[in-house]
C-alpha cells in the first residue's frame, strides 16, 4: 500500500513537472524563433498560430503529421495516459499496434503509466524510437523517458530496501534464537551447580 502511495505522490509531482517542462519547451522554442525572426523575415513568411487553430486540436491518438496541433495533441495524450485507468490502457493499446515510430512511441506513452511490468517495454520503445520523432517532440519524449526511468529507479530502491529489511529481520530472528538457546544452556548449568 505504501508503495502505491509513494508512486501516486511521485505521479502528482510528475504532472507538475510535465506541465512546467511543456511551458519551458514552448517558451524556449518561442525565444529561439524570436532570435531568428529578423534574419528569416525576408525569405520566409512568419506563420502565426492563433487560438482557433489550437481549439481544433482534439485527436485522440496523436501522430507525427506536421501541424500546429502536434505538440498539443501529444501532451494531451500523455496526460490522458497518466490519468487513464487499466481499462482505458487495455482499450488503447490495440489501436496503437504497428511498427511505425509514432505507433511505438504512442505505446510507450501508454505503457509508461501501466503496470510495473510494462515499464521496461515502454523504456525500450522510448530509447529505440525517440530519435525518429520530429525534433519538436524529442524534448517531450526525452522528458517522459527520464520521468519513467526515475519511477523505475524509485521502485527498484523500494525493492532493495524491502529485501534489506527482510534480510535484517531474518538475521535478527537467528540472533534471537541463538540468544534463547544460550540462555537455556546457562539456566541448565546453573541448575546443575545448585544440585551439586
The candidate with the shortest Cα–Cα distance to 87, out of 123, 115, 61, is: 115
CA 113 to chain centre: 7
Indicate the burial class of 109 (C-beta count within 10 angstroms; 0-12, 13-18, 19 or more): buried
Element holding 143 (H helix, E strand): helix 138-195
Dihedral pair phi/psi, residue 19, rounded to 5°? -60, -45
Query: Considering Cα of 140, then 142, then 146, then 152, what sign does the dihedral take?
Result: positive
The Cβ-side half-sphere exposure at 113, using a 13 Å CA radius, reads 27
SS3 of residue 8 by DSSP: helix
Phi-psi region of 64 (alpha: psi -120 to 50; beta: other; left: phi over 0): alpha
- Is the predicted pLDDT of residue 80 greater than 80, yes or no? yes
Question: Do residues 135 and 117 touch, judged by C-beta distance below 8 A?
Answer: no
pLDDT in tens, 20-30: 555 555 545 54
pTM for this entry: 0.57
| Residue 60 to residue 44: CA distance in whole angstroms | 32
Q: Check residue 67 and report its DSSP letter.
A: S
pLDDT in tens, 92-142: 999 999 999 999 999 999 999 988 889 999 999 999 999 999 999 999 999
Amino acid at each position: 500500500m505504501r508503495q502505491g502511495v509513494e508512486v501516486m505522490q511521485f505521479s502528482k509531482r510528475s504532472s507538475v513537472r510535465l506541465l512546467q517542462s511543456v511551458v519551458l519547451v514552448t517558451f524556449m522554442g518561442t525565444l529561439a524563433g524570436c532570435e531568428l525572426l529578423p534574419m528569416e523575415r525576408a525569405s520566409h513568411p512568419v506563420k502565426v498560430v492563433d487560438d482557433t487553430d489550437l481549439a481544433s486540436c482534439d485527436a485522440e491518438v496523436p501522430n507525427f503529421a506536421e501541424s500546429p496541433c502536434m505538440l498539443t495533441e501529444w501532451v494531451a495524450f500523455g496526460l490522458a495516459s497518466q490519468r487513464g485507468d487499466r481499462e482505458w490502457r487495455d482499450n488503447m493499446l490495440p489501436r496503437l499496434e504497428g511498427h511505425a515510430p509514432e505507433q511505438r512511441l504512442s505505446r510507450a506513452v501508454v505503457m509508461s503509466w501501466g503496470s510495473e511490468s510494462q515499464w521496461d517495454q515502454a523504456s525500450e520503445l522510448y530509447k529505440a524510437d525517440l530519435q525518429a520523432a520530429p525534433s519538436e517532440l524529442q524534448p517531450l519524449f526525452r522528458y517522459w523517458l527520464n520521468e519513467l526511468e526515475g519511477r523505475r529507479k524509485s521502485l527498484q530502491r523500494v525493492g532493495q530496501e524491502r529485501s534489506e529489511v527482510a534480510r535484517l529481520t531474518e538475521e535478527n530472528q537467528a540472533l534471537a534464537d541463538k540468544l534463547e538457546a544460550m540462555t537455556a544452556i546457562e539456566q541448565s548449568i546453573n541448575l546443575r551447580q545448585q544440585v551439586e
